[in-house]
Amino acid sequence: MRSDSEPTFTERARRAQILRCAIEALAEVGFGGASLAEIAKRAGVSKGVVSYYFAGKDDLLGHVLLDVYTRAGGAIGERIAQAADPAAVVRGYIEANLEFVGEHPADIAAVVEVAANVRKPDGSLRFAPQGEDPVLAQLEQILRDGQAAGAFSDFDARSLAIIIRGAIDTASGRIATDPAFDLDAYARQLVGTVELTVGTRS
């Protein structure tokens, strides 16, 4: 929304509705089919209304990513804040990530579509990771904190953080394409494998 004034409740609700419709369109018809006209139709508004809140399709899709990441981050942060020890923090981090994947398949599909298709003028992916990845850095710090507390064994925290994030991202893609994928079993196996690696079974 391009305005210097504080948005009203109605404006915030309309903006959230447009974001939700964009997510649903991306999940159901893909990046190519999720035009501003399609998103506007799903929201029951004109393209002009969408343009009032977002400065074009790329801006809207960038906010889709921000919306999903913010909600996922909140759920994960709430879970690990309740953990009683370093092992429970890591276990909660993995479980909360995978639970969000399982409970929000449309959101995950939308993120995959945006990340894989939105490009810069030079043709490179607009949302490809660049520089330090804050999500990876957070997980690496969690693992290092566990080592510093004497709860974990000696291992390379960054390498393990990359492995865990890769496993979570794999689940995100698998759940959208493999009807036989058992997310609960996958989560248990991943947690068990990581606990063996860090040297705790608490």
What's the pLDDT tens digit per position in 162-187?
999 999 999 988 887 888 999 999 99
In a domain, 58, yes or no: no
Q: Mean pLDDT, the chain, as a whole number?
A: 92
pLDDT at residue 1, as a whole number? 54
In a domain, 116, yes or no: yes
In a domain, 18, yes or no: no
3-state helix, strand, coil in the chain (%, to 5): 75, 0, 25
pLDDT at residue 123, as a whole number? 87
In a domain, 43, yes or no: no
pLDDT at residue 95, as a whole number? 97
CATH number at residue 118: 1.10.357.10
pLDDT at residue 201, as a whole number? 46
Percent of the chain with pLDDT over 90: 79
Is the dihedral angle over the CA atoms 135, 129, 131, 64 positive or is it negative? Answer: negative
pLDDT at residue 2, as a whole number? 53
In a domain, 135, yes or no: yes
Question: Residue 143's domain spans which residues?
Answer: 67-198
Instruction: Examine the pLDDT at 129 and tell me if it is beyond 50.
Output: yes
**Model confidence, pTM:** 0.86
pLDDT band at 39 (very low <50, low <70, confident <90, very high): very high
Instruction: Examine the pLDDT at 4 and tell me if it is beyond 60.
Output: no
In a domain, 47, yes or no: no
**Token reading at 93:** 């981090």
pLDDT at residue 200, as a whole number? 66
Nearest to 184 by CA among 77, 122, 101: 101
Report how many domains make up the chain: 1
Average pLDDT for 36-59: 95
In a domain, 106, yes or no: yes
In a domain, 142, yes or no: yes
Half-sphere exposure of 44 (CA within 13 A, CB side): 2
